[in-house]
Amino acid sequence: MGNISFINILLPDNLAAATVVAMTSATRNQGKGGGVDYTDRQYWSGLIKMSLSKFFILAELQRRPMHGYEIARQVELSTKGCCAPTAGALYPVLREFEEGGYVTALIEHTGGRQRKVYTITDKGQRAFAVAVEAWREVGAYLDGQG
């Protein structure tokens, strides 16, 4: 897979949760009148970063099976810190992917501790391919080629 710029990425299935988080940030900085301040860069940044998480989780699992902390660390490294999923954001997504058949999880015992190692399935690989195409379409539109 080639490099995918951040602007080419938008995951519609995660927008509702991202909107809630971003709206909370944007409305916190607002005076009377309520609503979202769409001129607040934090609103848009939060919305985009939250939307990227699922995509980058699948992207990292394309490389090799990993445990949760390692996935979060690799996402942060590969995006140069732009997208850094917290445990509170990561594990619900992994659980959703597991329940949907997009990843499998095996318990690994290491140093007296156990952890889940996640592996992308064929269904997860197909989902990632669809996501890449969606990103390219959005990116082409944003670049004025769509």
Average pLDDT of 13-39?
53
- Check if the beta carbon of residue 78 is closer than 8 Å to that of residue 60: yes
pLDDT at position 102: 98
Question: 122: domain CATH number?
Answer: 1.10.10.10
The overall average pLDDT reported for the chain is 81
List pLDDT tens digits, range 110-137.
899 999 999 999 999 999 999 999 989 9
pLDDT at position 82: 85
pLDDT at position 20: 37
Which domain does 61 fall in, by range? 41-143
Residue 55: inside a domain: yes
Domain count across the chain: 1
Q: How far apart are CA 45 and CA 68, in angstroms?
A: 24
Of all residues in the chain, the percent with pLDDT exceeding 70 is 76
Strand, coil or helix: 116: strand
Residue 90: inside a domain: yes
Residue 6: inside a domain: no
